[in-house]
Amino acid sequence: MIDSVLNRLMKTTEDEKQQLKSLEVHDDIPSAAIDPSLSENRHEPVLNDYFFRNKRIYVSKHNRYAPYPEHSHTFFEINYMLRGSCDEIVDGEKIHLETGDVLLMDIGSRHSIGYLGTNDLLINLLFRDQDINLDVLNDLRSSQSVLYEFLLNRKLGSSNGQIRHLLFSHQTVHEVQTTLYQIIDEYYLQRPFADAVISGYLSILIAQLVRNYQVKVKKQVSKTQQLVLSILRDIDNDYRTVSLEKLAIKYNYNRNYLSNIFKRETGTTFSETLTKQRMLNAHILLTSTALPVSEIMKQVGISNKAFFYQKYAAYYQTTPGQQRQS
């Protein structure tokens, strides 16, 4: 991050000075930014599209020295812990942010933010995109991984099955942090073509968030569920050569036993799941490379051409050739 931008963010604003005296929120949000109808229905402030009058993405520093009450919004919000730490409550869940952590909240997600001290910097990035929501992010990831799809379908990551916010640890999102630095610098420096550059970075940021998101299993899982998760990871990582026979040896279980518990936990057979993962990867290669179909079949571990074409048509309602033409 450019030093001049960081120094600007560290300076105490007039609103922060007032909050430092009273330790209460000095609300600098204009009344025009609050949706009266939604706020009345939800019994809390709901922020509308006021911030996007002339821009696709709005960046601001969260005011320090006072906790911020619960609210929701009609847009997406990213909280980026640039320095220090803070505590939030998001959709009833307590979340602690350390330097470098990234919190993505869906439209309608409710959250409140705790007290921030002098050395704490929380950056808010607000954006709208009618083509992006957390379901789309999940669909993008599940379109590449049977493991990810299984975790989402089983709703192991959320007590109510709804994923309304995603937390990215500073230990795993270095490329996301770099892109956020670039967005923040461009926003505050306002160099020529800044809006166009920021829009480009936003697309990159969304793709990086998809790539880095990992479903966390919060519920206690049984021994057999742990075994099935391990098998799904093996399929995910080694779909070209993995087999039930190899896994039976690896985990020291009877082949039929593995087959039965896999079907019981996932609802599909091992063979069906493996074929699906191979089709997912074949689809990626067909749409992103110029490799011939015969080479793609080889790379995903399928030798029977008729079988490959039949399964691909079943999954994608088109032939590999038609897919490539489109």
CATH number at 315 reads 1.10.10.60
Q: Which residue has the higher pLDDT, 199 or 221?
A: 199
Judgement on whether residues 200 and 69 belong to the same structural domain of the protein: yes
Query: How high is the pLDDT of residue 150?
Result: 64
Of 22-26, 42-46, 101-105, 138-142, the least confident:
138-142
Task: Report the CATH number at residue 30.
Answer: 2.60.120.280
| Mean pLDDT score, 225-239 | 89
Domain count, the chain: 2
Expressed as residue numbers, the domain containing 181 is 3-132+163-212
**197 vs 183: CA distance, rounded Å:** 8
pLDDT beyond 50 at 287: yes
What percentage of the chain carries pLDDT values higher than 90? 48
Query: How high is the pLDDT of residue 155?
Result: 40
Q: How confident is the model at residue 73 (pLDDT cuts 50, 70, 90)?
A: confident
| Mean pLDDT score, 145-159 | 54
pLDDT beyond 90 at 275: yes
Judgement on whether residues 185 and 271 belong to the same structural domain of the protein: no
Of 8-22, 50-64, 106-120, 166-180, the least confident:
50-64
Judgement on whether residues 186 and 292 belong to the same structural domain of the protein: no
What is the average pLDDT value for the chain, to the nearest integer? 84
Residue 154 resides in a domain: no
| Mean pLDDT score, 27-54 | 68
User: Which of 148, 179, 212 delimits the end of a domain?
Assistant: 212
| Mean pLDDT score, 199-224 | 75
User: Which of 152, 180, 212 delimits the end of a domain?
Assistant: 212
Residue 147 resides in a domain: no
Model pTM score? 0.65
pLDDT beyond 90 at 87: yes
